[in-house]
A and B are shown apart, each in its own frame.
Chain A
């Protein structure tokens, strides 16, 4: 990326969430961490956007900034038609109930002293039960995430496995019938067999409730499986936005590096040849490279990349790439 730009936004459609030029910075001793630098994205109702990137690329900071936890340094976040930045704390609390966050470590995300039956309806305790019957709603909610209400209802988080805790977290987040669900690495602390269960559960919940979902993860195959669209981040910026069905036709050198790094259990050993990018360390987000932030690792980098920041542009239908050296004729492999 290392570029910014808004070419991939779809202002002519009804959108559940719009993020415009989001900037997140953290002051630290000796400078400022540029966690997210000008991220724009939009989300249609029922759509899943995967945000893909390595640790330190700002994907989690972006997810939290969308939730206003804490609010971003600058930029706009619109949920439906309501602008969230700068609204009153009281209104924000109300709006935040329309967005929910599922975190990476499900055990530490739950209050260890409360029982499952109280944990899953904490939101309703605050916002009111309407005409719902408490006990039957708890049971219904637990069954909907594949937990047996009889066994888990009275348990506390430490009595459950990681996968079960993640199911409780998901039940909690869909209890208020939100519009947007933000999942921050929801399966990366789980075993593969449990990971598959949770991914299927999220997929079914999204379909049933017509949720718009942001799925943040570092695992290329996981993101590809669950998303409609994938946004690739590097050092706080967007490299590429493309439909996940065409992920293997990615053009940005960084996306290609990620794809080449995936070890696959069931295919031939990926050819050791042509790692498409130089395997050097991630530059510091305290002092990101000028121009294109990926240039220090990019095999295509030229002087232009150091001086001029690439902007996202549509290279193929629905595929947006921020790179000076990529066009529709670029070879895929």
Chain B
């Protein structure tokens, strides 16, 4: 759980900004995010829809890059190389052995007219230069590792013949084919049923541990992130509002948004007909974000200072950081206690 400061980071993100130029104006989808990740570490990126967590995941991967309608600034280093300074062909060589991604919807991330086996052998032959037979053997082995029964038979099936959970396992197997050092999982279980969701999250956790991979788990489900990540980064309107070791952040949140978000989740131990705490209002229109703190208009503790100045991330004890002018002081003190 604790990060060794001397361990080389698999991923370093510095002041990353992704701007989409749309007819309605510039959308600052990711607005100055920094973090780093060491081998074997899992980072949870949480936030509601529109918070920029998926765009962040894709920008880190290099799938979103500067172009006519997009500007990416800042740095993403994967294994020491700056993803956004690479030529497209060089970037493609990074995908697979260095970084791989698992997407939300396992139906649309597989090619419906290709067999499961082809998806895997294609990747293996292209990136690792395996022969046909070697690729087939490795593919069967990968399917077995992700818990697919009768892997040899599954190789010949098409994606539509598999259930959602099985398809997501195939997608994970493809991502793992070149033994990446970093895995980005963007809402990997959102499209799945609860019982299957748990299986997939457990599978990802055990694969990360086995291979000492680094993983970024992007999710709107705080429960999914809570038990399976070392650190968490809470996003709101393109910025990081709070980050730190998962347990302390969720136990004693320091940012009013984290606190309100956690309180609005229905809990199993609530008695029936409990009224939930809500966050009034809606997330901001990202083409016209509010001045000052972006959570200001929905925050219970908002002051004039919040309306004028954007709060910078302040480091608080226990390896945590919070971007708020008025962090919940009680929790900071308790957080400090946890840190020791």
Interface residues of A (CB under 8 A from B): 54-55, 161, 163-164, 191-197, 199-200, 203-204, 218-222, 224-228, 243-245, 247-248, 257-266, 269-270, 272, 275, 279, 281-282
Contacts and interface: CB of A to CB of B under 8 A. Distances in A.
Contacts of A259: 268
Nearest to B273: A203
Interface string B38-70: 000000000011000000000000000000000
B251 interface: yes
Interface in B166-224: 166, 193-199, 201-202, 220-224
Given A191-B48, A193-B48, A245-B272, A265 B264 contact: no
Contact of A263 (B198, B261, B283): B198
B336 interface: no
Given A225-B266, A225-B273, A263-B221, A192 B261 contact: yes
Contacts of B197: 261, 263
Contacts of B111: none
Contact of B278 (A54, A196, A247, A263): A196
Given A262-B194, A265-B222, A265-B250, 7 more contacts: A197-B280, A224-B272, A244-B272, A261-B194, A263-B197, A263-B223, A264-B227
Contact of A218 (B48, B193, B226, B264): B193
Contacts of A55: 193
A207 B30 CA distance: 42
Nearest to A260: B198
Given A161-B282, A163-B282, A265-B223, A193 B264 contact: yes
A264 B195 contact: no
A226 B224 CA distance: 22
Contacts of B302: none
B275 A203 contact: yes
B288 interface: no
B265 A221 contact: yes
A205 to B, nearest CB: 12
Interface of B: 48-49, 163, 165-166, 193-199, 201-202, 220-228, 250-251, 260-262, 264-280, 282-283
Given A244-B272, A263-B201, A270-B227, A281 B220 contact: no
A220 B250 contact: no
Most buried by A among B267, B271, B276: B276
A265 B266 contact: no
A282 B270 contact: no
Contacts of A226: 266, 272-273
B264 A196 contact: yes
Nearest to A280: B149
- Chain A contact surface mostly: helix
A250 to B, nearest CB: 11
Nearest to B285: A161
25 contacts: A54-B194, A163-B282, A191-B48, A192-B222, A193-B260, A193-B261, A194-B282, A195-B264, A203-B275, A219-B194, A221-B270, A226-B272, A226-B273, A257-B195, A261-B197, A264-B223, A264-B227, A265-B223, A265-B250, A265-B262, A266-B251, A266-B262, A269-B228, A281-B166, A282-B163
A64 B275 CA distance: 28
A124 B271 CA distance: 36
Contacts of A257: 195
A224 B270 contact: yes
A221 B279 CA distance: 19
A226 B193 CA distance: 20
Given A55-B193, A200-B276, A264-B226, A192 B282 contact: no
B268 A248 contact: yes
B249 to A, nearest CB: 10
B268 A264 contact: yes
Contacts of B266: 195-196, 199, 219, 221-222, 224-226
A147 to B, nearest CB: 12
B195 A199 contact: no
Most buried by A among B194, B224, B274: B194
Nearest to A270: B227
Contacts of B251: 266
B279 A220 contact: no
Contacts of B193: 54-55, 218, 282
Shortest 4 CB-CB distances between A and B: which pairs? Answer: A263-B223, A196-B264, A269-B227, A196-B276
